[in-house]
Structure 1
Amino acid sequence: MKSDLQSVDKPSGAGRPRDPRIDTAVLAAAAELVAEVGYASLTMAAIADRAGTTKTALYRRWSSKVELVHEAVFPTSPSALTTPEGDIVGDIRGMIAAARDVFSSPAVRASLPGLMADMGADADLNERVVARFRGLFDVVRIRLEHGIERGEVHRDVQPDRLIEIIGGATMLRMLLHPDEELGDSWVDETAAIVTHGVIGID
């Protein structure tokens, strides 16, 4: 596997596109390894070896371990918002369930403290990493705007604050009770509280 991925990644000339198989293999390797050895012990060399490629190939795609691990463990697809447009209650519950699934994964549990420390120490790095979520924030903003137009959502509800509340509540719950599973009842109860603060008629 290693020789195959190395060979397809070597550019034969300027502008040759990189093989997306390497990206997939590297992200999978990073997620696996951080759950196995922890963020502090994780190295780019180990990720490259697990993915069957080279450190050079990694650094052509990600400038640091932080950016690589962040992309590996935190999805940015707005797939949580799968309910039809117009169901703001379903949207909120879907977002909370998605946050629960992400933050309870072994890879996120292992990497989050180290990621937060590294990102907090470098403002430029933090901005680059957080920029990955702009697409998701846009989807939330559009859904809230449509809810306001329908008279279902308070006009002062901001998408950034809603995402912070959902993510913050999920992380705090994991910190307070790390050994307890977050089940659907927690999702339902949290969704009921958040929805009560979001929905209203002006």
Structure 2
Amino acid sequence: MTTDLGRPRDPRIDDSVLGATVELLGTSGYADLSVDAIAKRAGTSKPAIYRRWPSKAHLVHEAVFPISEATELPDTGSLAGDVREMVRRSTAVLTTPAARAAMPGLLAEMATDPTLHAKLLERFGDVTGRGITDRLDNAVSRGEVRPDVTAAELVEAIAGMALMAIITRNHALDDDWVHRTATLITRGISA
């Protein structure tokens, strides 16, 4: 039997730190964001933050890309509907001011640190692995998608197209963009 020593962690600190991180990203950007500034804004200490997150990148990733209802996979009953909803949700998350500010720094750190890259992607393992695989298996059984399409490929297509559009466009990705992109992806993986 394992016994926890010390005080239990206060979830209010987690919420305060995550909120402060999102707020500061919008004003300072990733490069100028410091754990010290986050601690001050959150009303806590740097050691309290480092007990929860091993690095700024881990903290920013969790703050900007929370696992919540938005990351739950839709089940619309059709592949086209599921893909459209995945594109819409991905676009909504990736176009927030905090995500736009965080992405360049997170991508740079992930590119140079394979362990960080693996750890950050692991947070969404159930969503991208099991969940999308289940949706694809259902779509294969309905005759909507080729059986060789993988969850990783679908995630890469959705995220890749959304990221490229964010980089190349100065305006929001509207419902028309979501619809056209989802249609393009759906046709590309259709049986």
SS in 1 for 2:149: coil
The residue aligned with 1:168 is 160
- Asked if residue 102 in structure 1 is aligned to residue 93 in structure 2, the reply is yes
CA spacing shift, 1:107–1:191, aligned 2, 3 Å: same
Conserved? CA contact 1:76–1:136, under 8 Å:
no
Q: Distance in 1 between matches of 2:86 and 2:114?
A: 27
Over aligned residue pairs, what C-alpha RMSD do you find? 1.5
- The structure 1 residue matched to 2:150, chosen from 158, 162, 165, is 158
Offset, 1:143: 0.8
Offset, 1:16: 3.5
- The structure 2 residue matched to 1:45, chosen from 36, 39, 42, is 36
Offset, 1:120: 1.0
Q: How does 1:83-94 map to 2 (within 5 A)?
A: 83-84=75-76, 86-94=77-85
Q: Distance in 2 between matches of 1:61 and 1:182?
A: 34
Q: Distance in 2 between matches of 1:82 and 1:161?
A: 18
Conserved? CA contact 1:78–1:139, under 8 Å:
no
Offset, 1:76: 3.2
* Structure 1 consecutive aligned stretches of length 4 or more whose deviation exceeds 6 Å: none
Larger Rg: 1
Unaligned runs of 5+ in 2: none
- Asked if residue 146 in structure 1 is aligned to residue 138 in structure 2, the reply is yes
Q: How does 1:6-155 map to 2 (within 5 A)?
A: 14=5, 16-77=7-68, 79=70, 81-84=73-76, 86-137=77-128, 138-155=130-147
Residues 78-119 of structure 1 show CA distances to partners (whole Å, capped at 9, x for unaligned) of 6453344x3221110011001111111100111111111111
Q: Percent identity?
A: 44
Q: Distance in 2 between matches of 1:182 and 1:116?
A: 21
TM-score computed with the length of structure 1 as normaliser = 0.87
Offset, 1:77: 3.7
Residues 49-92 of structure 1 show CA distances to partners (whole Å, capped at 9, x for unaligned) of 111111111000000000000110013346453344x3221110
Amino acid at match of 2:79: I
The residue aligned with 2:172 is 181
CA spacing shift, 1:172–1:195, aligned 2, 3 Å: same
How many residues get paired? 186
Conserved? CA contact 1:31–1:73, under 8 Å:
yes
Residues 113-156 of structure 1 show CA distances to partners (whole Å, capped at 9, x for unaligned) of 11111111111111111111102112111111111122222101
Decide which moves more: 127-136 or 74-83: 74-83
Offset, 1:198: 2.2
Amino acid at match of 1:73: V
